Structure 1
């Protein structure tokens, strides 16, 4: 059975400044644009299987969504493909810091 790594938002925030990881936000582009963790990259869950080539098995990734449901699915999927991934429990709603916003130019 595949075991999945997970971290609480509290522990993640305590380690945030010292983590050498890429945060992947698996929410849709609209929710991502409204507010995401600083430095997070948006790869929506439904595009993940088509965008695996953007990821490296040499790197560590932390996966997040709004509440922690889609991120569990994404973490399980990426882990099964051999990636070093950790789910962030609770999602962005548990983040106690400023969220970055992105704006579409179109």
Structure 2
């Protein structure tokens, strides 16, 4: 599984890159703050909402600590999606939140 650090995500966003970030935490967790522009698709709904994703795009998956996003990445990767897991999750995120 491909991984990316929170610092790398932050640097890419600061550089103006348009990233596709999916936050797989539950809505009440996301309400406490998420990476600007991230889309919330809770882990339990990934299977039912993956049709919303484009297999030609790369998605960075985020959760609280990296475990749930890792499971989501494995699931989506096995179905042909281009995904990267953000290691350490939001616990390691030092960038802005919305």
Per the normalisation by structure 2, the TM-score is 0.92
Alignment of 1:34-49 (within 5 A): 34-49=32-47
What is the match of residue 13 of structure 1? Answer: 10
For residue 71 of structure 2, the aligned residue among 73, 91, 101 is 73
Larger radius of gyration: 1
Compute the RMSD of aligned alpha carbons: 1.1
CA distance in 2, matches of 1:21, 1:82: 19
Output one character per residue of 1:32-87: Cα deviation in whole Å (capped at 9) or x when no partner: 11110000000000000011111110111000001111010001111111011100
Which consecutive unaligned segments of at least 5 residues does structure 2 have?
Answer: none
Provide runs of 4+ in structure 1 moved above 2 Å: 16-21
CA distance in 1, matches of 2:92, 2:38: 15
Which consecutive unaligned segments of at least 5 residues does structure 1 have?
Answer: 101-106
1:61, 1:86 within 8 Å by CA — same for their partners in 2?
Answer: yes
